[in-house]
Amino acid sequence: MYILDEEGKDLLSTVKEFCEKEVKEQCKEYDVSGEWAEEMYQKAGEMGLNAIEVPEEYGGIGISRTTYAALYEEMAKADAGFFTTMAVTNLTLKPLIIGKRDDLAQKAADILINGGYGAFCLTEPMAGSDASNNKTTAIKKDGKYVLNGRKCFITNGGIADFYIVTAMTDKEKGVKGMSAFYVEKGTPGLSVGNEENKMGIRTSNTTDVVFEDMEIPEDCLIGKEGDGFKIAMQTLDMARAVMGIGAVGVAQRCIDEAVAYSKQRVTFGQPIGKFQAIQFMLADMEIKTETARQMSLHALKLQDEGLPYAKESAIAKCYAGDIAVEVALDAIQILGGYGYSREYPVEKLLRDAKIFQIYEGTNQIQRTVISRAVMGKF
């Protein structure tokens, strides 16, 4: 349950209608083919969904975090791949704001408002959980930075209009030698590598992004040299609560599908929903989902209030990711053999749910963050 004002309710009903009519059914086909749903994304861009987090000062709609959370849940309910594309696109503005690069943030905001996409390139073949182990280099030369390296698992990698890229400006300094850059699509030396053939969220685009002697102007550096790791981590701290909401959307869809099915499937002369065994499963699914929703909202609310939120964001993302998988498994169980069939929507929900335990920091890494916050240094 979201507590929204009239404006928020209005936006929610608009997004809900759009997702019902333009996303939910359409995604079935793209889940199979793994192709880019051009028309769907075009319409979403026109509607402004690529830019729902853009603050008013950059020409965005400037809605509250609670409101955009409600909108994101609708998107994730319809299709978690669609949600991922939109959430990551919106995320890419954060490092520019954190790094106090108003000029670049404005540029990026204009792109998003016009239906364009951003990508956030941190992960590398040898740097996933250990993001500090970036091998990509950025060498300053004649007033320019020259980047070399390979990023992998980059959401929107093949479709982005701009990229936020981390690279080592000073290898000797470890994480303190990592910097963040703003890179425009079409920069010579930038290319899109292998596209992942994924288990789930197949309507999102995930690719390698490769830099070969890619030159970018000096002022594409976000913040100072050495700020890159900090900027990336702060970005993820903020974005994790949104990922929690995405997982909640998948879990909610599981509940919706399971409830509808349990009222209609008859065994032993009555709908299976009349069996307490099924009722209690649904109750547990609801307990988990609503708890995850409120935890995610709480983490966002802390951001609103300017209070520390890193631990709560990690809890939200971790818990929501875990329960989304559990709830998806339960939904399949409630649908029995039909749940296991590709003819029914719930097997896709399990494949989609799984990503929430992996990206933007695996749930083991979230637990590391949380335990560190709980235990402190000792």
Partner 1 sequence: MEILVCVKQVPDDSVKIGLNSSGKPAVDGVTMVANAFDTYALEMATRLKEANEGTITVVAIGPEKAKDALKSCLAVGASKAYIVNEDGLGDMDSLTTGYTLSKAVAKIEELNGAKFDIIFCGKETTDCTTGMVGAQLAERLGIGCVTGIVDIELKDGGISVKQETEEGYNVVETSLPAVVTVNKPAYDPRYPTMKSKMAARKIPIGEISKADLGVEDDKIVPSVKVISLSEPPKKQAGVKINEKTFEDTMAKAMEILKDAKVF
Ligand X SMILES: Cc1cc2nc3c(=O)[nH]c(=O)nc-3n(C[C@H](O)[C@H](O)[C@H](O)COP(=O)(O)OP(=O)(O)OC[C@H]3O[C@@H](n4cnc5c(N)ncnc54)[C@H](O)[C@@H]3O)c2cc1C
Options 123, 136, 179, 289; binder of ligand X; rule CB under 6 A = 123
Q: Dihedral (C-alpha) 141, 155, 362, 194: value to the nearest 10 degrees?
A: -80
The letter for the amino acid at 87 is A
361 belongs to the binding site for ligand X (CB under 6 A): yes
Partner touching 48 among partner 1, ligand X, none, CB below 5 to 8 Å by kind: partner 1
> How far is residue 297 CA from its own chain's centroid?
15
Instruction: Output 128 or 271, the one with its CB closest to ligand X.
Output: 128
- Interface with ligand X (CB under 6 A), residue total 22
- Per-residue x/- mask for ligand X, residues 316 to 335, rule CB under 6 A? --------------------
Q: Which stretch binds ligand X (CB under 6 A): 13-21, 32-40, 140-148, 360-368?
A: 360-368
Q: Measured from the CB of residue 200, what is the shortest distance to ligand X in angstroms?
A: 8
Q: Which of 92, 17, 10 is nearest to 50 (CA)?
A: 92
Measured over the CA atoms of residue 64, residue 67, residue 71 and residue 76, the dihedral's sign is positive
Is residue 10 a contact residue for partner 1 (CB under 8 A)?
yes
Question: Which option in partner 1, ligand X, none does residue 166 bind, with CB closer than 5 to 8 A by kind?
Answer: none
From the list partner 1, ligand X, none, partner contacted by residue 20 (C-beta under 5 to 8 A by kind): none
DSSP states of 73-99 as a string?
HHHHHH-HHHHHHHHHHHHTTHHHHHT
DSSP code per residue over 287-346: HHHHHHHHHHHHHHHHHHTT---HHHHHHHHHHHHHHHHHHHHHHHHHHHHHHTSTTSTH
198 counts as binding ligand X under rule CB under 6 A: yes
Pick from 271, 265, 259: nearest CA to 346: 259
Name the residue among 273, 263, 323 with its Cα closest to residue 293: 323
Q: Tokens standing for 216?
A: 């970018």
Evaluate the CA torsion angle 262, 264, 266, 270 in order and state its sign: positive
Q: Does 134 bind ligand X (CB under 6 A)?
A: no
State how far the alpha carbon of 185 is from the alpha carbons of 116, 169, 307, in Å: 11, 21, 36
In single-letter form, the type of residue at position 331 comes to A
Binding mask 23-62 for partner 1 (x = CB under 8 A): --------------------x--xxxx-xx--------x-
121: partner contacted, choices partner 1, ligand X, none (Cβ within 5-8 A by kind): ligand X
Residues in region 55-94 near partner 1 by CB under 8 A: 61, 63
Contacts of 318 (CB under 8 A, 6+ apart): 363, 366, 367, 370
**Phi first, then psi: what are they for 168, rounded to 5°?**
-85, 120
Catalytic residue flag (residue 360)? yes
**Tokens found for residue 359:** 């990206």
> Going residue by residue from 78 to 107, which x/- string records binding to ligand X, judged by CB under 6 A?
----------x-------------------
- 345 sits near partner 1 (criterion: CB under 8 A): no
Contact track, ligand X, 33-72, x by CB under 6 A: ----------------------------------------
Q: Give which of partner 1, ligand X, none residue 7 binds (C-beta under 5 to 8 Å, depending on kind).
A: partner 1
The interface region with partner 1, picked from 8-16, 176-184, 338-346, 354-362 by CB under 8 A, is 8-16
Using CB atoms within 10 A of its CB, is residue 325 exposed (0-12), middle (13-18) or buried (19+)?
buried
Q: State the minimum distance, in angstroms, from the CB of residue 11 to partner 1.
A: 6
Catalytic positions: 360
Contact positions toward partner 1, by CB under 8 A?
A: 6-7, 10-11, 14, 17-18, 22, 43, 46-49, 51-52, 61, 63
Contact positions toward ligand X, by CB under 6 A?
A: 88, 120-123, 128-129, 153-155, 198, 201, 206, 355, 358-362, 364-365, 368
